[in-house]
């Protein structure tokens, strides 16, 4: 229901019945969580108990409780700051929508897994009715005041406490999501997470946290890395989960390298996976594997191999970049796609018959030994603080260090004169060249720098995978890397990390739909490009580029740019 067609008096008249209907729906949602939702235990996280809610049912209950709070508090008058700066009705509408989508997906998962709607128990139908009633009630509520919590002055200890709390919740959520083996439960949980983020944004807490993180940047970075390093301790020695987590980090590190080429310089590269393969094959050839027969007398330490692999990948970037960067747009995409295929076929032909015996063709180089740092063998399990840490956890920690290095390089380049030159090229290459920017040199540097970072990630991947074969580096992998950059948000660090995590986790957790996984990816990208083309976590510049005609958004971003300079009147109002 669009209330904008009604007058202010009519909207006010609809508010009371809307709040009542929303409250009734919220109560039904809370009550339904204590009822059985399915006749079989093999779906979601066992939602078959009466008066024994599962974790997902508790989450649904929490949505109902929050909806009731938002509907009640939003209708109270005379609220003082900071409560008056919260978008109560906006959050209520988002919460109701999240609850409705949540229970619909649960019903679909139960029906698909157990074989029909007859297996949906009465509790799920009560939950569905409650969600629909709540959604209808919130549609009758007026928009309410837009949240401005970012303008509230907060003590430093409150901001630091919030950062620590958010990092702790993130650690718990990541551990829980990775432990889910049911595809339906995974999808529902992801929807819940996104819904909660949107609710926090409508409340104004997301912008407040953004401002707090800006003021306490060192605390945020330290907390993030501490949480990331603590993650293996939550997995109880599970090699399966840590293998997925490590692959996510390798994928994310490679995507960050591609982010330099695509996100900063605006160059479309469809063969980027070749640079990851170059680093992996170089590491395999220089390893102590019995099958690494090329250069048998040259087996340098791992740190030297990292530099060699990165350098070789960068040289390949220069080789492909020098002649091809004179073209642009679709032609550049075609050339880079061809380069990716040339690399794969080249590795296949280095088998001793069509060329020198370096990679053993399609057999690749197997039995690559695990890394050993000062007696710490990454291939062995270790007991640390009473927790068994397996092989993949060791490589996970190593990749965290590599990710930290890549983020450091990316951030410094982005904030440097070189980064500004890349952005100028992306915006308008002709104008940048007219202003004296060395466009060809900077584009070449973007290709070489991105390739170097991918080569480093490939070095770790070779040792973790134990073997390297040409079929691992196909065009589809390049497409997924590019999708991670676009989906997360081009030119940002956090956005690319989120995009890479989503695209790497989905294939692992959606095995129930097998070949239809690619269809799901395609639909996700279509929806994203329609409703949020700038990406999940986009920079203000990219957001404005895709929404030039949105004056309200422009004003919002202008306010965001002024987040960290409170006006005296605002400060006085908040203290009042």
Per residue in 247-295, pLDDT (tens digit) is 999 999 999 989 888 888 888 888 899 999 999 999 999 988 888 888 7
What confidence score (pLDDT) does residue 31 get?
A: 95
The 10s digit of each residue's pLDDT in 391-443 is 888 899 999 998 988 888 888 888 888 988 988 888 888 888 888 888 888 88
- Candidates 453, 454, 288; CA nearest to 371 is 288
Return the ∠ at Cα 263 (arms to 544 and 495), rounded to 5°. 75
**Quick one: 140 and 34 in the same domain?**
yes
**Does the pLDDT of residue 520 top 80, yes or no?**
no
**Does the pLDDT of residue 541 top 70, yes or no?**
no
**Quick one: 527 and 546 in the same domain?**
no
**Does the pLDDT of residue 572 top 50, yes or no?**
no
What confidence score (pLDDT) does residue 325 get?
A: 74
Quick one: average pLDDT of 356-374?
Answer: 86
Do 462 and 312 form a contact (C-beta atoms < 8 A)? no
**Quick one: 249 and 303 in the same domain?**
yes
Do 474 and 276 form a contact (C-beta atoms < 8 A)? no
- Residue 567: which pLDDT band, with cuts at 50, 70 and 90? very low
What confidence score (pLDDT) does residue 204 get?
A: 87
**Quick one: 124 and 48 in the same domain?**
yes
Domain boundary residue among 171, 198, 228?
A: 228
- Residue 574: which pLDDT band, with cuts at 50, 70 and 90? very low
Quick one: average pLDDT of 444-460?
Answer: 91
**Quick one: 207 and 258 in the same domain?**
no
Quick one: average pLDDT of 73-88?
Answer: 79
The 10s digit of each residue's pLDDT in 230-247 is 888 888 767 888 888 899
**Does the pLDDT of residue 564 top 50, yes or no?**
no
Do 475 and 511 form a contact (C-beta atoms < 8 A)? no
Mean pLDDT of the chain: 84
**Does the pLDDT of residue 540 top 70, yes or no?**
no
What confidence score (pLDDT) does residue 237 get?
A: 67
**Does the pLDDT of residue 10 top 70, yes or no?**
no
The 10s digit of each residue's pLDDT in 62-74 is 999 999 999 888 8
Do 132 and 97 form a contact (C-beta atoms < 8 A)? no
Please, where are the H alpha helices in 363-438?
391-414, 417-427, 429-434
**Quick one: 556 and 459 in the same domain?**
no
The 10s digit of each residue's pLDDT in 499-517 is 888 888 877 777 666 666 6
Please, where are the H alpha helices in 115-150?
122-139
What confidence score (pLDDT) does residue 429 get?
A: 83
What confidence score (pLDDT) does residue 9 get?
A: 55
**Quick one: 252 and 135 in the same domain?**
no
What confidence score (pLDDT) does residue 37 get?
A: 94
The 10s digit of each residue's pLDDT in 135-153 is 999 998 887 777 777 777 7
Better-scored residue on pLDDT, 161 or 546: 161
CA gyration radius, the chain: 26
**Does the pLDDT of residue 128 top 50, yes or no?**
yes
Segment among 137-146, 200-209, 478-487, 513-522 with least mean pLDDT: 513-522
What confidence score (pLDDT) does residue 546 get?
A: 64
> Can you tell me whether residue 366 is helix, strand or coil?
coil
Better-scored residue on pLDDT, 547 or 273: 273
* 273 Cβ contact partners less than 8 Å away, ≥ 6 residues apart: 254, 340, 473, 474, 475, 477, 478, 481
Percent of residues in the chain assigned helix, strand, coil, to nearest 5: 70, 5, 25
- Residue 46: which pLDDT band, with cuts at 50, 70 and 90? confident
**Quick one: 463 and 557 in the same domain?**
no
Structural domains of the chain, count: 3
- Residue 552: which pLDDT band, with cuts at 50, 70 and 90? low
Domain boundary residue among 172, 199, 228?
A: 228
Domain boundary residue among 228, 255, 288?
A: 228
Do 467 and 365 form a contact (C-beta atoms < 8 A)? yes
Segment among 246-255, 260-269, 473-482, 521-530 with least mean pLDDT: 521-530
Better-scored residue on pLDDT, 237 or 317: 317
**Quick one: 504 and 572 in the same domain?**
no
Structural domain harbouring 218? 3-228
* 5 Cβ contact partners less than 8 Å away, ≥ 6 residues apart: none
Q: pTM, whole model, 2 decimals?
A: 0.84
**Quick one: 245 and 210 in the same domain?**
no
Say which CATH number the domain at 381 has.
1.10.3470
**Does the pLDDT of residue 14 top 90, yes or no?**
no
Better-scored residue on pLDDT, 467 or 327: 467
**Quick one: 202 and 351 in the same domain?**
no
Do 136 and 78 form a contact (C-beta atoms < 8 A)? no
Strands 372-373 and 382-384: unpaired
What confidence score (pLDDT) does residue 566 get?
A: 40
What confidence score (pLDDT) does residue 199 get?
A: 93
**Quick one: 259 and 202 in the same domain?**
no
Long-range pairs for 499-502: beta carbons < 8 A, 24 or more residues apart: 499/255, 499/535, 499/536, 500/248, 500/251, 500/252, 500/255, 501/248, 501/252
């Amino acid at each position: 229901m669009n209330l904008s067609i009604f007058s202010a008096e009519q909207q006010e008249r609809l508010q009371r019945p809307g709040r009542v209907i929303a409250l009734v729906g919220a109560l039904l949602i809370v009550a339904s969580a204590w009822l059985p939702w399915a006749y079989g235990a093999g779906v979601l996280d066992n939602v078959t108990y009466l008066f024994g809610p599962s974790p997902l049912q508790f989450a649904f209950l929490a949505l109902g409780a929050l909806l009731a709070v938002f509907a009640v508090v939003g209708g109270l008058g005379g609220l003082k700051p900071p409560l008056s700066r919260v978008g109560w009705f906006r959050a209520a509408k988002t919460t109701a929508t999240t609850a409705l989508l949540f229970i619909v997906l649960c019903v679909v998962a139960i029906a698909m897994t157990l074989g029909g709607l007859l297996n949906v128990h009465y509790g799920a139908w009560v939950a569905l009715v409650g969600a629909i009633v709540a959604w209808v009630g919130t549609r009758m509520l007026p928009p309410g005041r837009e949240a401005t919590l970012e303008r509230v002055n907060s003590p430093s200890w409150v901001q630091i406490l919030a950062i620590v709390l958010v990092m702790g919740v993130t650690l718990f959520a990541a551990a829980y999501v990775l432990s889910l083996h049911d595809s339906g439960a995974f999808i529902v949980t992801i929807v819940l997470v996104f819904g909660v983020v949107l609710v926090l944004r409508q409340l104004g807490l997301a912008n407040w946290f953004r401002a707090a993180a800006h003021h306490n940047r060192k605390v945020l970075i330290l907390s993030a890395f501490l949480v990331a390093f603590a993650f293996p301790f939550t997995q109880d020695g599970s090699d399966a989960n840590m293998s997925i987590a490590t692959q996510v980090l390798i994928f994310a590190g490679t995507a960050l390298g591609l982010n330099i080429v695509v996100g900063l310089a605006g160059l479309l590269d469809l063969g980027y996976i070749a640079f990851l393969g170059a680093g992996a094959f170089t590491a395999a050839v220089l390893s102590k594997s019995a099958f690494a027969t090329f250069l048998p007398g040259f087996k340098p330490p791992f740190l030297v191999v990292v530099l060699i692999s990165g350098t070789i990948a960068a040289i390949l970037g220069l080789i492909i970049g020098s002649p091809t960067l004179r073209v642009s747009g679709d032609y550049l995409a075609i050339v880079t796609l061809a380069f990716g295929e040339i690399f794969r076929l080249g590795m296949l032909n280095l088998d001793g018959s069509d060329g020198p015996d370096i990679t053993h063709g399609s057999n690749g180089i197997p039995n690559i030994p695990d890394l050993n740092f000062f007696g710490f063998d990454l291939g062995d399990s270790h007991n640390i603080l009473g927790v068994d840490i397996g092989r993949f956890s060791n490589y996970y920690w190593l990749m965290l260090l590599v990710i930290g290095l890549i983020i450091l390089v990316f951030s410094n380049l982005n904030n440097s004169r070189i980064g500004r030159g890349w952005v100028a090229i992306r915006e308008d290459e002709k104008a940048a060249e007219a202003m004296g920017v060395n466009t060809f040199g900077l584009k070449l540097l973007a290709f070489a720098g991105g390739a170097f970072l991918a080569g480093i990630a490939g070095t770790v991947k070779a040792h973790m995978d134990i073997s390297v074969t040409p079929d691992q580096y196909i065009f589809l992998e390049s497409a997924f890397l590019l999708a991670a950059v676009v989906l997360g948000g081009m030119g940002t660090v956090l956005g690319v990390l989120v995009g890479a995590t989503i695209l790497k986790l989905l294939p692992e957790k959606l095995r129930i739909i097998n070949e239809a996984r690619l269809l799901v990816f395609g639909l996700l990208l279509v929806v994203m490009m329609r409703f949020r083309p700038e990406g999940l976590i986009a920079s203000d510049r990219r957001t404005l580029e895709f929404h030039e005609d949105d004056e309200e958004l422009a004003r919002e971003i202008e306010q965001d740019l002024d987040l960290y300079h409170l006006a005296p009147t605002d400060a006085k109002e908040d203290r009042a």
